[in-house]
A and B are shown apart, each in its own frame.
Chain A
């Protein structure tokens, strides 16, 4: 049991107690919803962990380090800022991949740039954005957020570059 599990467990407990106080079955509904999502994502999750493990052995650590590590300087952040576009998948697939890159030596700036660019610019969301929010809005959204991953990665490296991940 590590500190992160305890933290998330306490938050879940807090949310549970708040839901319980409503006395309308919210606590049960919330847990059921969580369980339902968990089960539906289980196959993807299992695959995601295999993917993360295989990435660690199949991707040469030196390559990741020289491209995305702290030694790569700002190149890692630059690569990360745009690689997120190509991570056209949900969080359950993307986070394990980023986690394995972290373990192979990717720097904090790269990791933050990558997760920010995936969150903002991932191509998997594009069809929804175009169809539901419209081409005009989508274009504006991409222009306005285009450089944000770079800025986030840069700031993360600048202020937290020495942090132990």
Chain B
């Protein structure tokens, strides 16, 4: 089966006065057709930067120094800004954390949606645009659509705004939707609704694959098909959600899951990962998790482990660790 997106050896660097910060180090992964892939990791791991690289919105002074991002047989890393404009919002869309700042406060909802259609489908007539706009708002579970269309963003609740942002992301029927912490700024009960909505959309649209970024691994495990664990710009583990949660292999993954509290009727000791995250400016020869790992030995410091498939029974389970062969 062809992959929707194929990233190979992606390297992104930030050059500042402090030196060169390696934000992404040899990141390689595939986004399959019709799947929801979760990016998990803590701050600075590179999950947001990976998605920014895909749509080529890396903030300066960062840039892609190596690698390819193959989408629809073209390398997005080589695309010109003009070519990317055709893709963003239309073929690959993104939703961000804070819906209030994602929407233009000066314009009504109807304008925000129709602008996207005008940009990507310039031949579409006014009636068709209206129809599509109304339809998409129904798709994202909004009622009282006429009222919503006429409202300004600040007149709507956080949950409604995020639904509109999602509507804007799917109105052109994209191939890939990236959701970067879309529920972090929302209340718990709204979060559950938005998560269900995203999952529903992904399941309904056969041509859509979703990349879901979150620091909350429980959240990812509930809805994603596969999860990718990132740390210091590298991918450490990739597997089906169930396997990541129930059979985590990499010491970091285990530490991450162990320190994420879960609602339960029994009390668990709080696990934690000792040590501190090294600076992105340091060049690490061996395993990037070395200074915090409790299962290491000398070879872990000298050589960098490769991402190897140790899955059995046809299920892929990639791990970057010498100890887990």
A binds B: no
Residues of A within 8 A of B (CB): none
**Contacts from B to A (Cβ < 8 Å):** none
